[in-house]
Amino acid sequence: MQAIILAAGMGKRLKSYTKDATKCMVKVNGKTLIEYTIEALTANKIERLVVVVGYKGALLKDFIASKFNAENLNGMKIDYIENPVYDTTNNIYSLFLAGSEMAKDDTILLESDLIFKPEILQSLIASPDKNLAVVSPFEAWMDGTCTLLDENRCITGMLDKVRFNWADTEHYYKTVNIYKFSKEFSEQYYLPFLDAYQKSFGKNEYYEQVLKVISFLSSSSLKGLVVSGSDWYEIDDPADLAIAEDRFKTGIEKLHSLEKRYGGYWRFPQMKDFCYLVNPYFPPKKLVSEMKANFHVLITEYPSGAAQQSLLASKIFNIMPEHIVVGNGAAELISSLAKYVEGKVAIPFPTFNEYPERFTHAEVVPVPTNRETFVYSVDDILKTVRQTGAKTVLLINPDNPTGNFLKKGEVLHLCEELKKDNVTIIFDESFIDFADKAIRYTLLDEEILNEYPNLIVVKSISKSYGVPGLRLGILASSDPAYISRIRKTNAIWNINSFGEYFLQIYDKYNKTYAVACDAIAEERSRFIKRLSEIEGIKVFPSEANYVLCRLNGIKAGELTVSLLEKYNIFIKDLSSKKGFESGGYIRLAVRNKEDNDALIAALKDILG
C-alpha cells in the first residue's frame, strides 16, 4: 500500500508561520506536521509515499531528507511530484498530477495540514472495507465538507457550505481529509471522474467535489470510518495551531496549557470540566430557545447603556435601580471596586485569588482559619479587624475554594458589629444559591442594604445561573454615589445584547431556577457521600457547587494529570493557592449525576 500527501498549498492564513516554510513544516509541540505524518506512515508499514509539492517545494524536500533516511523510513520509499502552478490552482489539480501514481496501488490519501493519532491509519488499513473516508461526528469547532452516513456507514451525501444546515448537524460527519482508495476504485471511478470534473469546472476546485458526485451516483462506493474529534485536528490559522498544541500535548504540559486558557473549553468537547464552576441544571431549554429565537436581533442591535441594565437587575432582585450596577461578570465589578479599596483588608484564607490580586491599593491581612478544617467564625473576623485596624472585610460565602458557610444570622451580626466600627464589608454571595434550601439566603435585599450602609454585595450571575458565556454579575449597595462611581468606572456598553436580553426575560424562569438550585444541593449531598467512600480522599463540608478534598497517598498535581490523560477530566489542583502549599488538595465542581459518577469511577481506578 502507498500514500499520497498533498502539500503544494501556500498556507496563507498561517501568516508568519509559512513565510519561510511550507504549511506542513509548521511545528506542533516542537515537531513539524510532516514529521508526525511520515512517522505514522512508517509505523503502519506503508511501502511508498508520494508527496505533491509546490510552494517552497525544494525547501520541503530538503527538510524531509534531513529528517528521514533509509533506516528510519522502515523501508518506505519517497517520491515527489511538483505542482508548478500551486498559486493559481487548488488541491484537485495536485491530485490530478498524482493520478497516474494513484492508479498503481491501493492508496492512503492525506492532506498535509493535519495532526492525528497514528491509530487512525492503523484502523483504516485494517478495515476490510476497501474504500473509506475518515470522518468524525460534527462538533461546533469544525469547518468544511461534511458527510451523511446510512446505517451501514455508506456515505450517501457530501455537503459543502451551500447545503450545510445547522439544524441538522446531529446527523453530520466532518471529513478528516484522510482516505483509503483501492487501486480498482481509483482506476474505474475516481480518476475518470476527477479528469471530467476538472475539464468542466477548472483547476481551482477541491477533490472532495468529485467524491460528492460519486456518492450521489452510488452510495455504496465509499464508506465512512468514524473516529473521535479528539483524535485529529486540522490547522489552517494560528488559532488552530494553538488549539492543536493543547490537544496533542501530554502530561503536565497539557495541564498547564489548559489552565492558561481560562476557559474556551467548548473547543475541547470530549473533556469534562470539573475545574470551572457553573450551574449544570440551569438555564432550561425553553430559555435557551427563547434567546435563539431572538438571535438575529440581538447580534445586529446595540445593547442598552448601564442605566438600563441597572433597571433590569433591580427588577430581578427587587432593589432600587440606583442601588445596583451590572458588570461584565463579577470579575469586572471586582476590578472596579478594588480601585476604591484602601488601607487594610481582612480576608479569610484560602480565598478566591481574584480579590487580593486586584486590591493593589490596599494591604491584605489574613483572617486566621483552622488549618485542618479551614473553618473560621465571625469572632475570628472581628478579632482580626480590631487587632489590625482593617477598614474593609472581604467575606465570600460560601467561601471559594473551601465551601465554608456562615449562616444569615451570623453574617448580619458581623455587619452590625462592623457598622459600629465604620468598617466596610464586601460580601460575595456568588455561590449562596446552592446552599441547602433550609439555610439558603441572600443579602440582596433593600431593607438589609439600607440597614447596613457599610455593606457591598457582589454576585456572579455567570456562575450561579449557568450562563458564563454571557458574562454577567451585579454589585449592590445602599449608597447611590458609590454605585454611580462603579458604573462610571465600567465601560458604557459593558454588557452585550445577549446579556441584557437574559436579564429582560429571566423573571419568567425564576421558579425553574429555584428548582435547579435545589437539584444541585441534592446532587452535592449524593456526590459528597460517594466521594467519601473512596479511600485516600477526605471531603470537606460544602454549601457551594464544588467540594474541597484532601488527598492521601498521591499529590494533587499527579492526580490532576492522571485524570486528564486517562479520562479527559479536568479538575482544579489547589497547590498554587495560599494555604494549600502541601500539594495535597483539589477542588471538584459538582456537575450532573452522570458526569459526577464518571469522575468517581475514574478516581476509584486511579486511587486503586
Query: What pLDDT score was predicted for residue 114?
Result: 95
Q: Which of 190-194, 420-424, 482-486 has the lowest mean pLDDT?
A: 190-194
Question: Could you give the CA distance from residue 604 to residue 262 in angstroms, rounded to a whole number?
Answer: 28
pLDDT of residue 204: 83
Number of H helices and number of E strands within the chain?
A: 24, 26
pLDDT of residue 219: 58
- Nearest 5°: CA angle at 329, between 461 and 242? 120
* Residue 345 CA, distance from chain mean position: 34
Name the DSSP class of 190.
I
SS3 state at 347: strand
Confidence of residue 516 (pLDDT cuts 50, 70, 90): very high
Q: Cβ contacts of residue 169 below 8 Å, gap of 6+?
A: 138
Strands (E), 297-371: 324-327, 343-348, 362-367
CA distances (Å), origin 81, targets 94, 109, 446: 9, 14, 76
Query: What was the pLDDT predicted at 562?
Result: 96
Q: Which pLDDT score, from 0 to 100, does residue 162 have? A: 78
Per-residue pLDDT of 28-65, as tens digits, reads 999 999 999 999 999 999 999 999 999 999 999 999 99
Residues 324 and 490: their CA atoms lie apart, in Å, by 13
Tell me the CB-side half-sphere exposure of residue 594, using CA atoms within 13 A: 3
**What is the spatial distance between Cα 598 and Cα 434, in angstroms, rounded to a whole number?**
22
pLDDT at 221 (0 to 100) = 80
Bridge partners for 392 per DSSP: 345, 424
Quote the pLDDT of residue 487.
94
CA distance 494 to 342: 25
Cell matching residue 201? 469546472
Give the pLDDT confidence of 359-402 residue by residue, as tens digits.
Answer: 999 999 999 999 899 999 999 999 999 999 999 999 999 999 99
The reply to whether omega before 283 is within 30° of 0 (cis) is yes
Question: Residue 8: CB partners within 8 Å, gap ≥ 6?
Answer: 52, 53, 54, 55, 57, 83, 86, 91, 94
For the chain, what percent of residues have pLDDT higher than 90?
Answer: 79
Whole-number pLDDT of residue 167: 85
Contacts of 309 (CB under 8 A, 6+ apart): 303, 325, 326, 495, 500, 503
pLDDT digits (tens, 9 = 90+) for 311-333: 999 999 999 999 999 999 999 99
| Mean pLDDT calculated for residue range 481-489 | 95
Q: Where residue 218 falls among pLDDT bands split at 50, 70, 90? A: low
Kindly state the average pLDDT of the residues 489-508: 94
d(CA 241, CA 298): 31
Angle at 600 between CA 433 and CA 515, to 5 degrees: 25
Three-state DSSP at 441 gives coil
Task: List the single range of 155-164, 170-179, 315-324, 401-410 with lowest mean pLDDT.
Answer: 155-164
Domains of the chain with bracketed CATH? 2-243 (3.90.550.10), 285-511 (3.40.640.10), 512-607 (3.90.1150.10)
Burial 220-229 (b: 16+ CB within 10 A, else e): ebbbbbebeb
| Per-residue pLDDT at 264 | 86
Q: Return d(Cα 321, Cα 483) in angstroms, integer.
A: 10
pLDDT band with cut points at 50, 70 and 90 for residue 230: confident
Cα separation, 135 vs 267, whole angstroms? 18
| Mean pLDDT, residues 491-514 | 95
Burial degree of 313 (CB within 10 A; 0-12, 13-18, 19+): buried
The pLDDT of 151-157, averaged and rounded, is: 90
CA proximity to 73, closest of 64, 81, 82? 64
Please report, as a single letter, which amino acid is at residue 206.
Answer: Y
Average pLDDT value for the chain: 93
pLDDT at 215 over 80: no
Is 486:458 a contact under the CB 8 Å cutoff? Answer: no
3-state secondary structure (DSSP) of residue 260: helix
Residue scoring higher pLDDT (219 or 336): 336
CA distance 519 to 506: 19
